[in-house]
Structure 1
Amino acid sequence: MEDILRPLYQERASREETLGVLLVEKHKAFSPSTDHFDVILFIIVEMAESPWQVKHYEFEDKKAALHVVNLQQLNEWLMLGSHRRVVDWVVNGKVLFDRNEFVESLKTRINDFPIAERKKKIGIEFAKLVRRFSDGKELYYAGHFLDAYNNIIHALHHLARLSVIEHGFYPEVTVWNQVKQIEPEIYKLYEELTSSDEPINKRIELLILANEFSMSLKTELGSRHLKDIMQTKTDAWSFFDLMEHPEMEDYKVDLGAMIEHLIEKEYVQVVRNETKGKGIFHRTYQFKN
């Protein structure tokens, strides 16, 4: 198969901006990991006009998909977990071309999962967990049980991914299989929500209590990345300044909910500053020592 597909990637491999080429083959009849294609050609480039290009091909009785991804897009996927199949492609794909051992160093990075990167991913997942749980709780008390269920199950997914990252692994597509081995108590929460014979409102009610407990346990861990940023200066931070910090780009959409959670749990304190409006104060924020 590699010989047949060589014309698709050989010319690209000769270009200076190409960092690596990987080949991923389908090994099962039903294969979501390859988008149901027989083979994936995954080409990583340093820069490109488009961050992600995909082309589909046919040969003999098979289908192939060629993905050309620039480095910025790849790093975003790895950080946000928004394209989890990519981790599998990089880790398990056959290396066809590797400029200056870029692909090997990328595999090492994924396997070693550097602490700084891990801390930021935990912050992102924790912020999403807080947002989804808050929305689910509000919908539950408003009587919208199906919508509440949807948000709570998403919150559990973020809790599961956070747990996997905490233990030094990238979350895979089969994240619940990972969690079952790493933190079985979180897996049990998922089972209770999805498999219990209790009415849906009772299941959600129990999960809200359990999830609040789990969130309390994970708050110190989940806020470390934000704490490191906020402690880079002694003055309190305005919300806008926090949003504008480059390290917050990946989870500023959930930052408001996270800040309010940290105030409630007494990790962050509000510092009020007078404005020109009588009785109106500008809220700024500091991490408590």
Structure 2
Amino acid sequence: MEHILRPIYQERASQPDTLGVILINKRENAPNMTDTFDAVLLIIVKEAVHPIYSKHYTYGDSKTVMHILTEERLRKWIFIGSNKRLVDWIFYGKIMFDRNEFLFKLRSELQEFPFFGRKLKTGIQFSKLIRRYQEGKELFESGHYLDSYNHVVALLHHLGRLSIIDSGLYPEVIVWSQVKRIEPAIYKLYEELILSNESLEKRLELLFLAGEFLINSRTNDGGQHILETMLEQPSWTIQELHNHPELSYYSTDLEVFVEYLIEKGLIHVEPIIAKNEAIFHRNYYVDKQFVESEYGL
């Protein structure tokens, strides 16, 4: 397959915006790793009109997909963790072209997992965890146990990913084998949820109690990235927080996360008089001394 695809990726490699090309061949024991294609051609470019562009090819009985991805979208997916296959492709794919060692440096960056990257990924996973917990508990208290169950499963996945990130690794596609090795207590909670003979209501009740404890114990670590980011200026509107290049990764979970950290006393509200004196704008700030002492800045 490689010699068949060579003219395609060589044409792309000759373009100045192309940073790297990776070829991923289907593995017999994991066909879904390449979305059932026989090969994936991943091309990273500096900029493009479309952040993602895909094209399918057929050769005999074989099928191939080409993905052209901008560096910005690549890094966004790595931070958010929304495309689990991507890290696997980068680590285990065959490098066919590498401009100025872009892919070599990226692999090294992922292997070293810089501390700053861990803080951002921890914050993103923690914000997703908060939303799942709040929505799942609301459904539980309303008696919608099956819907609540779905949220609790997702909640445990986020807890599992947090434990993996804390250990300095990237969550893989098969995340629970990692969690079992790294954080057996969270793996045990997952087993109890899906295997226990207790009623669904009782299982969920126990999981929410355990979840609340685990969330509270991780709040300071989970909030570190956003709290340190907010030191950049004295106060923020919610739109300024959304517009920040790194906080934008939190997406729709940002506002829920901010409100949670307000409840925990880690973010403070500053009322600003609006045109109508009966209404106030809400600005947000953090206690600089607390943040610097808490995180050793």
- Cα deviation for residue 217 of structure 1 reads 1.1
Which residue of structure 2 aligns with residue 262 of structure 1? 261
Tell me the amino acid that sits aligned with residue 96 of structure 2.
L
- Cα deviation for residue 143 of structure 1 reads 0.7
Which residue of structure 1 aligns with residue 294 of structure 2? none
Aligned equivalents of 2:79, 2:151: Cα separation in 1: 22
SS at match of 2:249: coil
Which residue of structure 2 aligns with residue 285 of structure 1? 284
Tell me the amino acid that sits aligned with residue 60 of structure 2.
E
CA-based RMSD = 1.8
- Cα deviation for residue 33 of structure 1 reads 0.5
- Cα deviation for residue 205 of structure 1 reads 0.7
Aligned equivalents of 1:245, 1:70: Cα separation in 2: 20
Please say if residues 241 and 248 of structure 2, whose CA atoms lie closer than 8 Å, have aligned partners that are also in contact.
no
CA 1:15–1:276 in 2, change beyond 3 Å: closer, same or farther?
closer
Please say if residues 21 and 42 of structure 2, whose CA atoms lie closer than 8 Å, have aligned partners that are also in contact.
yes
- Cα deviation for residue 160 of structure 1 reads 1.4
- Give the 5 Å matches for 1:1-289: 1-28=1-28, 30-233=30-233, 235-275=234-274, 280-288=279-287, 289=290
Aligned equivalents of 1:47, 1:162: Cα separation in 2: 31
Aligned equivalents of 1:36, 1:223: Cα separation in 2: 38
- Cα deviation for residue 278 of structure 1 reads 6.1
CA 1:95–1:244 in 2, change beyond 3 Å: closer, same or farther?
closer
Q: Which moved more, 1:88-97 or 1:192-201?
A: 192-201
CA 1:48–1:184 in 2, change beyond 3 Å: closer, same or farther?
same
Aligned equivalents of 1:246, 1:6: Cα separation in 2: 37
Please say if residues 22 and 43 of structure 2, whose CA atoms lie closer than 8 Å, have aligned partners that are also in contact.
yes
Count of paired positions: 288
Length-normalised TM-score, structure 1: 0.93
Aligned equivalents of 1:69, 1:275: Cα separation in 2: 43
> Structure 1 unaligned runs (5+)?
none
Tell me the amino acid that sits aligned with residue 17 of structure 2.
E
Aligned equivalents of 2:242, 2:200: Cα separation in 1: 37
CA 1:164–1:15 in 2, change beyond 3 Å: closer, same or farther?
same
Aligned equivalents of 2:254, 2:24: Cα separation in 1: 37
- Cα deviation for residue 213 of structure 1 reads 0.6
Tell me the amino acid that sits aligned with residue 73 of structure 2.
Q
Aligned equivalents of 2:14, 2:76: Cα separation in 1: 25
Aligned equivalents of 1:48, 1:263: Cα separation in 2: 39
CA 1:134–1:16 in 2, change beyond 3 Å: closer, same or farther?
same
Aligned equivalents of 1:240, 1:29: Cα separation in 2: 46
Tell me the amino acid that sits aligned with residue 152 of structure 1.
V
Which residue of structure 1 aligns with residue 295 of structure 2? none
Q: Which moved more, 1:275-284 or 1:103-112?
A: 275-284
CA 1:237–1:45 in 2, change beyond 3 Å: closer, same or farther?
closer
CA 1:211–1:174 in 2, change beyond 3 Å: closer, same or farther?
same
SS at match of 1:231: helix
Length-normalised TM-score, structure 2: 0.91
Aligned equivalents of 1:47, 1:238: Cα separation in 2: 30
Aligned equivalents of 1:90, 1:129: Cα separation in 2: 27
Aligned equivalents of 1:263, 1:70: Cα separation in 2: 36
- Cα deviation for residue 157 of structure 1 reads 1.3
Tell me the amino acid that sits aligned with residue 102 of structure 2.
F
> Structure 2 unaligned runs (5+)?
291-297
- Cα deviation for residue 109 of structure 1 reads 1.0
